[in-house]
């Protein structure tokens, strides 16, 4: 039942069903609680950087040197063998020329020896210099990582970001269209994970993980011919890898920042829920339920004013009181009753949702179960959704309070 929104909004009566029950969309902000909380004694954080790619650069240089040494040794051996072979051929030729000349000088005419064809001089194999991972400053990483609810200063939580190397690089091609409209579409696969560790002096490590430890894809351009791509690649290959690394790092920092805030921060999120009212039914009036909706909406708008939702308690409890009073009229066996089976299940869902946001989870569970035991399919499904909604918030609440 949760929907994310970008702005604060309260929508009234946009959907209805069963002729008389209306879903009123209520959107509001709230402070999300962490699953891996930092001790309350800390209010600051510091970002530390570990350049794991430097070891990859050194490994690449070491491997390059080994290949270069091997290629040099092989070339020197081939060159020495070539020189010996050339000298042997030249010696044989000169010996034949000497015999021919002496014979010719003595008056005996014989064919002059043919100038020999010497073997091609060996060329040292080209050893490509490795792609080195670009350096990154502490400031670039620190600017990319924040922690909602905390300020930057020493002495608090330490967020260590380990920057791993770009790896598993591969360029892929797929075709689309046909005939004159045939296109060759290129993309690049890559892997660029980041190590993340959050710790405090008193707690030690409270979060340690690797984010984006999977192969990602980067869209390149499309061409009318594969050879157009090959021409572009000749001139742009090195710059492309630099651009890809820059893009991949920026994306990885974004994902890491979202992850650390979800686990350890207090980010402001938004949620949209439904508060149900009855528009009309028979000759009954429902001013009390309309009033409860208005009061509940006011309460939900106050949730973001504090981490513990305390500012919203007065209004939400006031709405619950009205809904519970209406429930005393419940008659699920009389469809003509002011609060019939549908109205009963509706009120149970309203109360359950309010209790969820009040963090009174046992009460919320009780009313969810009541709605699940109703005969109204719509609200049975709503209640089932509320159970997952409850569990997510219960875990975070119990971890922090």
pLDDT tens figures, 13-22: 333 334 489 9
Tokens of 331: 């008659």
> Are residues 238 and 312 part of one domain?
no
> Are residues 310 and 228 part of one domain?
no
Mean pLDDT of 173-181: 95
> Are residues 275 and 237 part of one domain?
no
| CATH value at residue 180 | 3.30.160
Q: Comparing 1 with 106, which gets the higher pLDDT?
A: 106
What is the reported pTM?
A: 0.82
Can you tell me the distance from the alpha carbon of 292 to that of 277, in angstroms, rounded to the nearest whole number? 9
What is the overall mean pLDDT for the chain?
93
Instruction: Report the pLDDT value the prediction gives residue 280, as an integer from 0 to 100.
Output: 82
Domain count, the chain: 2
Instruction: Report the pLDDT value the prediction gives residue 20, as an integer from 0 to 100.
Output: 82
Domain boundary residue among 246, 264, 282? 264
| pLDDT at residue 356 greater than cutoff 80 | yes
> Are residues 150 and 225 part of one domain?
yes
> Are residues 307 and 187 part of one domain?
no
Instruction: Report the pLDDT value the prediction gives residue 295, as an integer from 0 to 100.
Output: 98
Which one, of 36, 250, 266, lies nearest residue 163 by Cα? 250
Mean pLDDT of 108-112: 91
Q: pLDDT tier at 1 (50, 70, 90 boundaries)?
A: very low
Instruction: Report the pLDDT value the prediction gives residue 14, as an integer from 0 to 100.
Output: 38
Residue 335 within a domain:
yes
| pLDDT at residue 9 greater than cutoff 90 | no
pLDDT 10s digits, 290-305? 999 999 999 999 999 9
Instruction: Report the pLDDT value the prediction gives residue 297, as an integer from 0 to 100.
Output: 98
Q: pLDDT tier at 235 (50, 70, 90 boundaries)?
A: very high
| pLDDT at residue 201 greater than cutoff 50 | yes
Q: pLDDT tier at 57 (50, 70, 90 boundaries)?
A: very high
| pLDDT at residue 244 greater than cutoff 70 | yes
CA angle 367, 373, 376 (to 5 degrees): 100
Instruction: Report the pLDDT value the prediction gives residue 8, as an integer from 0 to 100.
Output: 36
The domain of 248 spans 44-57+135-264
> Are residues 49 and 171 part of one domain?
yes
Mean pLDDT of 106-131: 93
Can you tell me the distance from the alpha carbon of 344 to that of 378, in angstroms, rounded to the nearest whole number? 12
259: how many CB neighbours lie within 10 A of its CB? 17
Residue 112 within a domain:
no
């Amino acid at each position: 039942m949760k929907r994310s929104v970008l702005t604060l909004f309260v929508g009234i009566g946009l959907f209805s069903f069963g002729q008389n029950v209306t879903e009123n969309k209520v959107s509001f902000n709230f402070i999300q609680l962490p699953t891996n909380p930092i001790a309350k004694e800390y209010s600051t954080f510091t970002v530390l950087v570990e350049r794991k790619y430097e070891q990859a650069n050194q490994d690449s240089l070491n491997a390059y040197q080994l290949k270069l040494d091997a290629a040099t040794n092989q070339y020197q051996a081939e060159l020495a063998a070539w020189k010996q072979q050339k000298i042997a051929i030249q010696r044989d030729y000169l010996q034949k020329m000497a015999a021919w000349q002496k014979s010719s000088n003595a008056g005996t005419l014989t064919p002059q020896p043919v100038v020999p064809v010497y073997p091609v001089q060996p060329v040292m194999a080209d050893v490509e210099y490795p792609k080195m991972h670009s350096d990154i400053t502490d400031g670039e990483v620190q600017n990319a990582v924040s922690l909602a609810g905390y300020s930057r200063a020493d002495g608090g939580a330490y967020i260590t970001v380990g920057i791993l190397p770009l790896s598993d690089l591969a360029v892929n091609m797929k075709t689309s269209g046909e005939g004159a409209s045939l296109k060759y579409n290129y993309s690049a696969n890559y892997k660029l994970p980041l190590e993340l560790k959050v710790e405090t002096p008193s707690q030690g490590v409270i979060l340690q993980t690797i984010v984006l430890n999977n192969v990602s894809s980067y869209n390149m351009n499309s061409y009318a011919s594969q050879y157009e791509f090959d021409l572009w690649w000749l001139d742009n290959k090195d710059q492309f890898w630099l651009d890809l690394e820059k893009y991949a790092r920026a994306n990885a920092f974004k994902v890491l920042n979202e992850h650390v805030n979800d686990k350890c921060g207090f980010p402001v999120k938004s949620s949209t829920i439904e508060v149900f009212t009855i528009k009309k039914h028979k000759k009954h009036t429902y001013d009390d339920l309309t009033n409860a909706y208005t009061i509940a909406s006011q309460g939900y708008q106050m949730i973001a004013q504090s981490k513990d939702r305390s500012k919203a308690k007065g209004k939400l409890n006031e709405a619950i009181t009205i809904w519970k009073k209406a429930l005393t009229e419940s008659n699920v066996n009389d469809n003509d009753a002011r609060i019939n089976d549908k109205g009963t299940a509706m009120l149970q869902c309203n109360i359950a949702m309010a209790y969820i946001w009040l963090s009174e989870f046992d009460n919320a569970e009780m009313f969810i179960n009541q709605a699940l035991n109703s005969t109204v399919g719509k609200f049975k499904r709503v209640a089932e959704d509320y159970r997952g909604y409850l569990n997510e918030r219960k875990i975070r609440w119990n971890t922090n309070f």
